[in-house]
Amino acid sequence: MLEKVIDRIASLRVAELPIGKALLVLSTIGVGKGITDVVATRWPSVAKYAGVLAGSGIGLACKKIGPVRRFLGETGAEAFALGGMAAAIWSLYDVEGKIKSYIAAKGTPTLPPGVAAPPAPAPETTLAGPEIGSPEVYVSDVARRLEAIRRAQLERLGV
């Protein structure tokens, strides 16, 4: 059903860059992260491993279940399996946050002796938002999931 649509999206190229494939991967990672958040808020006891459960579930469903694979087509099944596994790895290890902090640490220049260092940024780093001057706070998937667990437990206790 979706095979032809997904194949057309995957074949989209601009200046020989695979824009369509990038779009597919990003959208399937979004699906994986969305399902991970649903699992984490519905079942707080497994929230730590919600990404692994949801991501591997998406990957297995897309690659191993025949009707799903035929519905999505080979390219779609591969893209959704890739997106599910990427969301699983992302939520368990917070790869994006670690890479961002590593690059930021390597890009920080060393100061000569006698020069005071600027104050360290807060744990939640403020980044430039989509509009100039609008602050956007980066919060990792792990922090969002922990906050969802806390809210669910407080609701259950009636606090």
Residue 100 has pLDDT above 70, yes or no: yes
Residue keyed to tokens 């989209």: 12
User: Which of 8-12, 56-60, 126-130 has the least mean pLDDT?
Assistant: 126-130
Token pair for 3: 């095979």
pLDDT at 115 over 80: no
- 10-33: per-residue pLDDT in tens? 888 888 888 888 888 888 888 877
70 confidence band (pLDDT: 50, 70, 90)? confident
* CA atoms of 95 and 155, how far apart (whole Å): 31
Shortest CA distance to 29 belongs to which of 80, 73, 78? 80
39 close to 29: Cβ distance less than 8 angstroms: no
Distance between alpha carbon 100 and the CA centroid of its chain, in Å?
Answer: 14
Question: Once rounded to an integer, what is the mean pLDDT over residues 74-103?
Answer: 79
Mean pLDDT of 82-101: 77
The 10 Å Cβ neighbour count of residue 38 is 13
Residue 60: the pLDDT is: 84
Token pair 């369509």: residue? 20
Q: Are 109 and 101 in contact (CB under 8 A)?
A: no
Distance between CA 79 and CA 135 in Å, rounded? 33
